[in-house]
Structure 1
Amino acid sequence: MFKIGLIINPLAGLGGSVALKGSDGMAEQARALGAEPRALARTQLALAELADLNDRLMMFTVGGDMGETVCRQLNLPFETCYQPASPSTADDTRNAVARLVEQGIDLLLFAGGDGTARDVCAAAPESLCVLGIPAGVKIHSGVYGVTPAGTGRLLAKLVRGEPVSLMAADVMDIDEVAFREGRVRARRYGEMLIPGELSYVQAVKVSGVESDELVLTDIADDIIERMQEHDDCYYIMGSGSTVAAVMERLELDNTLLGVDLVYQQRLLASDLDARGLYQHIRDKKCKLVITLIGGQGHIFGRGNQQLSPEVIKAVGRDNIWLLATKTKLNSLQGRPLRVDTNEPELDRELGGLMRVITGYHDEVLVRVANPEDEAQ
């Protein structure tokens, strides 16, 4: 199941139709001038794109008009995880974000304007993928879809398991008081990860065809930069030519069909077995650098049994760096990635969306799912 967190700012956009140039602190005045709420209706437009996908998703949302109302109206499967004040406030948005993150959501969907985006950004972890339904008066932030329906179509791609690029987008807001006086004062408040429309445009092209050699160099440069940022970690280097490109860039000997261990860009051990690997990394901060098998899509269980369930658990899902060229991903023809750790429960825990590093500062989201779990 694709887990969607949903937060609606029911006051978003109230000030627009009555020329108040914003809604922050203006809800009562806007209503007195005859403004009609729009956030719920715009959320309905977005979520209507999921009408045929009820069996693939689960909504985790907020009570009343902050989410529950729309889920009921559209007969979406949902759980209410937080009850807001009446009327709801910015604190409710921030508190709801924290509560929804606890549910292990794959994506946080929110409806509002730049003020709502700021509140979400303040509370959301950097690793959380978010997507905004434009419902505010001013939309300077880059975290919103161009239209509610467009937002819904992009979300449907994710629910269907189609790989979608990740990108960082700025959260912007303006001083509404100054804006009402005719002065625009925009300020950047941070950035959040959003799904971008995937076209699988190649990161590096030679005569219109992806060059594996250049793409592998791009991937290797990205990984080495990450290693420098996490210099206190041990790095388990999995098998395969994609990981071998990283080792070559590091100028380290590599076991093409084995597993090596690197620390501070030095080779500590080569061709480790499962027991030896676990003894090296237990109780240590570590990352696993691994690729998938082209055409099959297996991450674990095909030629890398050194990465035992014990090792994978010690590393943790969030510390897996999965590498692949987009050519390799395209060879799967839309099929999800597979895991075969020999522990069904661990296989299920590894399921869901996983980032795949496909170039220098270039990632896509791809679903990990086994057939037995897809059938449930």
Structure 2
Amino acid sequence: MIRFRLGLVINPLAGLGGSVGLKGSDGVAEEALALGAEPKAIKRMMQALEVIAPYANDIEIITASGVMGEDAANALGFNTRVVYQTPDKTQAIDTQAVVRTLLNEPLDLLLFAGGDGTARDVYSVFEQAVIDDKLPVLGVPAGVKIHSGVYGITPHAAGMVVKMLLEGELVSLMSADVMDIDEVAFRQGTVRAKRFGELLVPAEPRYVQAVKMGGKEVDEFVLADIAADVIQQMEDELYIMGSGSTVAFVMEELGLDNTLLGVDLIQDKALVASDLTAKQLLELTQDKPTKLIITLIGGQGHILGRGNQQLSPELIRRLGKDNIIILATKTKLKALEGRPLIVDSGDPQLDRELCGYYKVTTGYHDYVMYQVANPD
């Protein structure tokens, strides 16, 4: 007997621009594919659905045909009902059309895979719809930009939330912000985040992410101390400089041009290459001693998988845990309120291998041990 009706939507273009350095997918899907990007949204939705696959007989998945939902659900043995025919080339209007159709169904939850642009598409339909009760939604993170608070912290975590609902656990609901940024400005190094509205999501703090904290650290003395420590310890090897304002401060102290929202490569305190793609990073670091310098996203705690998809699982495996250097102010770490740092590389096995305690540089010769421990 079917006792849970799950609406399912996948934006198959989500995240395409990340690995090839385009900082998003809005309007550049064809360019990303031409540069060698591989669609990953379906795979990430399947990672979420795998968690609830043992309950397949109790679930009816209502979705769109093909790559927008049906293929992923059928591959895992779910009961699937198609209510929308996916065109050969999908656009934002297709996501909106699927959601609009699903709102006519007696759903228990709407699960979608995408990024902030997809969350906006979902919200735009809810905003226009006339429905008596607000339907809870949950996002499976598959985009480059994940500022919105409507997503699970990883695909597996999103699946865990659905599992809790299936098992009858008491899961509260809360309103979470739908955020997005101007991708044109984003590609030019400027972040202009905007709140578009709210969606109702399961309030499970272990598995659902907080809205990203914006803004550059105001305490430049702390950042200067962190930068001084990093620069003093730099050797002759290559250094991959991740995105974010804390790493950008290190580059500024070195007097080097920095791609705030991209990934750069330096050696001997000089710039080797800027704004690199995943493929370029693999090629330039092949058989060369290399370290990775990254920071966390304030409020969320992600160190991999949010805005730095250029750091591919293959690259991270090649580097190894010992060559990952994490920078963060104690203010950012305290804001996590004890929650661990998160890696969402796209490879669940690698994410498990990366768990453990890391030395985080928090000042000049000042370090703390902090845990990377995904909830799955």
TM-score by length of 1: 0.52
- Partners of 1:138 and 1:198 lie apart in 2 by 20
Partner of 1:154: 161
How many angstroms apart in 1 are the aligned matches of 2:117 and 2:190?
18
Amino acid at match of 2:88: S
Alpha-carbon distance in structure 1 between the residues aligned to 2:23 and 2:65: 28
Task: Supply the distance in 2 between the matched residues of 1:22 and 1:153 (Cα, whole angstroms).
Answer: 27
2:173 to 159, 166, 178: 166
8 A contact 1:62–1:83 mirrored in 2: yes
Q: Is 1:132 paired with 2:155?
A: no
Distance 2:26 2:101 in 1: 24
* Aligned pairs (5 A) from 1:1-376: 1-124=3-126, 125=129, 127-197=134-204
Q: Flag the structure with larger Rg.
A: 1
Give the CA deviation at 1:85.
Answer: 2.2
Q: Is the contact between residue 174 and residue 200 of structure 2 (CA under 8 Å) also seen in structure 1?
A: yes
Distance 2:18 2:10 in 1: 17
Runs (4+) off by over 4 Å: none
Looking at structure 2, the residues matched to 195 and 154 of structure 1 have their Cα atoms a distance apart, in angstroms, of 7
Question: Can you list the C-alpha shifts for 1:260-289, whole angstroms capped at 9, x where unaligned?
Answer: xxxxxxxxxxxxxxxxxxxxxxxxxxxxxx
TM-score of the superposed pair, with normalisation by structure 2: 0.52
Deviations 1:207-237 (A, max 9, x none): xxxxxxxxxxxxxxxxxxxxxxxxxxxxxxx
Q: How many residues align?
A: 199
Deviation at 1:103, TM superposition (A): 1.4
Structure 2 residue ranges without an equivalent (≥5):
207-376
Alpha-carbon deviations, 1:135-184, whole Å to 9, x = none? 00010000000000000011111112212010100000000000111110
1:44 CA drift (Å): 0.6
Q: Output one character per residue of 1:88-107: Cα deviation in whole Å (capped at 9) or x when no partner.
A: 11111111112111111111
Code of the residue aligned with 1:47 in structure 2: it is: L
Q: Which stretches in structure 1 are left out of the alignment for 5+ residues? A: 200-376
Q: Offset at 1:198?
A: 7.5
The AA in structure 2 aligned to 1:70 is A
User: Offset at 1:84?
Assistant: 2.5
Counterpart of 2:15, as a letter, is: G
- 1:59-82 CA distances to partner (integer Å, 9 max, x unpaired)? 000111000010111111110011
Task: Give CA deviations for 1:231-250 in whole Å, capped at 9, x if unaligned.
Answer: xxxxxxxxxxxxxxxxxxxx
The CA RMSD over aligned residues, in Å, is: 1.3
